[in-house]
Amino acid sequence: MDFELSEDQVALADGVRSFCEGRFPMATVRALADDHGVDRDRWRELGDLGLFSLLLAAAAGGAEGGWADAVVAFEELGRALVPGPLVWTQLLAGTVPGAATGEAIVAGIDRADPSGIVEFPDRLDHLAVVDDAGIWLVPAGDLVVELLRPLDPLTPVARLTAPLPQGDLILDAEAAARLRIHGAALTSALLLGSSQASAALAVAYAKERQQFGRPIGAFQAMKHLLADTFTRAEIARGAVYAAGVTLDDPAVGSAERAVAAAKLTAAEAALANAKTCIQVHGGMGFTWEIDAHLYLKRAYALEPAFGTRDEWADVMADVLDQTA
């Protein structure tokens, strides 16, 4: 198993990062909190860039890439804190018309989810509903919801106040089972990117902030904190890349085990690194003006997506028990 990026993957990562720096600088991302989290023009640009068609065959208008390419691209989207139902739109790009090109915005929910929380309610075109029978597509206009105050200002949410419509069956039960694994892999990539960005923000501040005539990053206690952020992100990076490689070639090992490792390590890295970033900034870290809180809130918003850490820990335990 080779975790070194190919020349094409390096170019893909550089291209997505450059696009995000130009179209999703932090000032723009912050402003999207007042625009329901998604700007449709920029969403179409994501589609034009091919980010929602990475996994589609060339005959279907896609890039005919693989999961290794997809996690590399989503790592960069996570680094830039690009908001929106990126994972759901990617997963259903070959099934929901307009999703691959960014013309349609798709989010999802488990029919058994007791919270009834729907993300990006004012921007959705469709809601994918997952149950034991498969995946059902419900027009956003058929939903009856009550808007809530979100934890992540860039992830608006609402609660269903009426039963979910049945919708139209678009994928079977087997596809629904695969979707959970694939969704967790892409979510892990977003978390990985976020963990790297918050670590970089902490390092940059530690180099600039002076105390006792020296940068605070020169003090040993601070060095340990910053070294831990690097270590966590690197461990997560190996696990996320391994998940992508394994999904591309299941013969190398258990895809379920690889994705479980990715979700566990990436979620831990994103949460812990964001908390460390706040700590490094001191009292400033708790203010709205410092971006550290946005990374922490996004990590909390993504952690339960497609299975919490506890759920994936149970999956990992089951897989290891079967191979013991």
Q: Which among 259, 224, 296, 245 has a CA at the least distance from the CA of 4?
A: 245
CB 143 within 8 A of CB 121: yes
pTM, whole model, 2 decimals? 0.95
pLDDT of residue 166: 95
pLDDT of residue 59: 44
pLDDT of residue 56: 85
Strand 168-172 and strand 134-139: the pairing is antiparallel
Domains of the chain from N-terminus onward: 175-323 (1.20.140.10)
pLDDT of residue 142: 96
pLDDT of residue 93: 94
Q: What are phi and psi of 6, to 5 degrees?
A: -75, 170
pLDDT of residue 63: 54
Distance of CA 91 to the CA centre of its chain: 12
pLDDT of residue 212: 87
The stretches in the chain having pLDDT less than 70 are 1-3, 57-65, 324
- CB-based contacts of 268: which residues, under 8 Å, 6+ apart? 232, 236, 309
pLDDT of residue 239: 97
Distance of CA 238 to the CA centre of its chain: 16
Amino acid identity, residue 167? G
CB 80 within 8 A of CB 24: yes
pLDDT of residue 124: 96
pLDDT of residue 58: 47
pLDDT of residue 322: 80
pLDDT of residue 324: 63
pLDDT of residue 1: 53
CB 122 within 8 A of CB 107: no
pLDDT of residue 188: 98
